[in-house]
Amino acid sequence: MDRSEIKLGILGYGVVGGGLYHILTTNADQVARRTGVPVVVAKVADIDWERPRKIQVPPALRTTDAYEVINDPQIDIVAETIGGTDPALEFVLAAIEAGKSVVTSNKEMMAKHGGEILAAAAAKGVDVQFEGSVCGTIPIIRALKESLEANRISQIIGIVNGTTNYILTKMTQEGREFAQVLQEAQQLGYAEADPSADIEGIDAANKIAILAAIAFGSHVPLELVYREGISKITPQDISYARQMGYVIKLLAIAKQADGKAELRVHPALLPAAHPLASVNGVFNAVFIRGDACDEVMLYGRGAGALPTGSAVAGDVIDCARNILHGTPGRVPCVCEGTLDVVPMDEVATRVYVRMKVADKPGVLGNIATIFGSQGVSIQSVIQESSSGDLAEIVWLMHKGRERNLRLALEAIGHLDIVEEITSVIRVED
């Protein structure tokens, strides 16, 4: 296509929109060289231009009406950086319908409505790219869709949420309680005022659903992702984990073997020698295992104006090239199959269990008998110094089904000699 420039419209001028605008204007020469023609930001829509922002947009480009961007025949690509599904989904579908290629950083929208959006894009012959939706700057989607696409991917394990990784890192390094570190993270602006999407693992579940869909070539309904957050993790568990050679991380896990998949987000004990164990603070990383590539790990910042803006800008350049070369849809959606997801009760993991019990003869034996009767095999036991009449016992179990462990713990929880089952945390090797 003989074009002297490509025009971009941005919907939503928050942190990511600002980062995108900054990169495309500051690095305009490089973007033009790589694309073949300049990529020009033609309009930016946001409902509130009064909010203070670090990166300003010239008033002439501003509008409060998203449809001024979507319906502008001059605009080739629409970048959606609003977040959430409402009104982002409506705007994205309208932009596709108007024949625009779309770039988005919206994980919730892609996790819940990616299939519908990509089908609409395929029908219209435009691109929808969403690198910025998972792990900010880390090029994980392009890695799975293109660089590693000849592999059978058996495993993706990610630290995909910076807020929870920051909290767990601080708890580990400073021995502090969850609630205290969360409050500090909120004051520093690392955690949202309503932190539930991050600390309950909702954000991570959205991200692993997107990655699993691409890696396994399947539609992944979000409700099939098992989810547990980090609010019950204590400094005591972190300390016991350390004694046993582990760190505690919130992991997003997608595994596939023999046609069965596991999809789960939960805190886990991870061996201190695992490459993901040293990913600290707000950083994210994704560890992938494929039949040809073996192990791959990608690391970087999972949030922030410029890191996420970088991923979105890369997608804009790719869409622009496809428009210039007449090849939108060059890398089509592959998420058409269905996945046989193993129910959590059937998943086999190793588990760490901490409990407070009466400190008297026969207690350990009683509890061990119940574990044994459910086929739960004990790997190691630590008994820490007693306080009063109570002892604290930490069990590490061999790999076993969740259902058996659950039944054993229900029975153990009813014993008079058991004061409290304090923690149950999976172990990921």
Q: Radius of gyration (Cα) for the chain, nearest Å?
A: 24
Instruction: Give the integer Cα–Cα distance in Å for 392 and 355.
Output: 6
Closer residue to ligand HSE, CB minimum distance, 16 or 24? 16
State the nearest-atom distance from the C-beta of 229 to ligand HSE, in Å. Answer: 12
State the nearest-atom distance from the C-beta of 320 to ligand HSE, in Å. Answer: 25
Closer residue to ligand HSE, CB minimum distance, 196 or 373? 196
Please give the full DSSP string across 155-223, using - where no structure is assigned: EEEEE--HHHHHHHHHHHHH---HHHHHHHHHHTTSS-SS-HHHHTTHHHHHHHHHHHHHHHTEE--GG
- Say if CB 287 and CB 148 are below 8 A apart: no
Which residues are part of the catalytic machinery? 207
What angle (nearest 5°) sits at the alpha carbon of residue 235, between those of residues 162 and 415?
120
Instruction: Give the integer Cα–Cα distance in Å for 296 and 147.
Output: 11
Closer residue to ligand HSE, CB minimum distance, 161 or 404? 161
Closer residue to ligand HSE, CB minimum distance, 91 or 283? 283
Per CB under 6 A, residues contacting ligand HSE are: 107, 161-163, 198, 203, 302-303
Pick from 71, 127, 81, 68: nearest CA to 107: 81
User: Quick one: CA torsion of 423, 232, 85, 285, rounded to 10 degrees?
Assistant: -80
State the nearest-atom distance from the C-beta of 138 to ligand HSE, in Å. Answer: 11
Closer residue to ligand HSE, CB minimum distance, 202 or 261? 202
- Say if CB 357 and CB 382 are below 8 A apart: no
